[in-house]
Amino acid sequence: MARNRLMAVALGGLVLTTLTQCFTNKKNEGQRLYETNCQSCHMEDGSGLRGVIPPISGADYLEQHRDELACLIRHGIDGPITVNGIEYNKPMPGVDLREDQITNLLNYIQTNFGNNNARYTMPEVEKQLETCPPHR
């Protein structure tokens, strides 16, 4: 009986440690994904490259095109877009990320760089990705 209790405690500790590490690894994932996949073009502060690459900092596009952003990240965009009244026409490549990663990246963008937009949920991102065209 005591041996079973000891095994249960040990197993519980192992599970708790493993779960804690999983959640810790997800913390700041949106920021890491931004730094890896977006920052080289949209800049560290989200300001973009004047006249060439649109800003994400304070970008009206984030709210006006909320239902398209998951597709834009996955498939990129080729063609003109208007952000804060300025037209940009430089192709943006898509990024091969899982749905949870796209959700974390979008939430990071939506709540940083002077943006205070509503956060995304996994079901919302999954639905967008199911309905988006393969290439934009």
In a domain, 52, yes or no: yes
Rounded Cα gap, residues 89 and 52, in angstroms: 7
Residue 16 vs residue 104, higher pLDDT = 104
Q: If phi over 0 gives left and psi between -120 and 50 gives alpha, with beta otherwise, what is residue 76? A: left
pLDDT of 102-128, one tens digit each?
999 999 999 999 999 999 999 999 999
Q: What is the mean pLDDT of residues 85-92?
A: 96
Range of the domain at 95: 29-131
* Per-residue pLDDT at 133: 72
Start-end of H helices in the chain: 2-26, 29-37, 39-42, 61-64, 69-75, 99-110, 122-131
Distances, alpha carbon 126 to alpha carbons 1, 6, 66, 76, 101, in Å: 47, 42, 13, 17, 11
Higher pLDDT, 136 or 125: 125
Count of domains forming the chain: 1
User: Does some domain include residue 83?
Assistant: yes
Considering the domain boundaries, does residue 5 fall inside one?
Answer: no
Confidence band (pLDDT; 50, 70, 90) for 17? very low
Reported as a single tens digit per residue, the pLDDT across 35-80 is 999 999 999 999 999 989 999 999 999 999 999 999 999 999 999 9
Which has the higher per-residue pLDDT, 114 or 23? Answer: 114
| 134 pLDDT above the threshold of 80 | no
Instruction: Report if residue 7 sits inside a domain.
Output: no
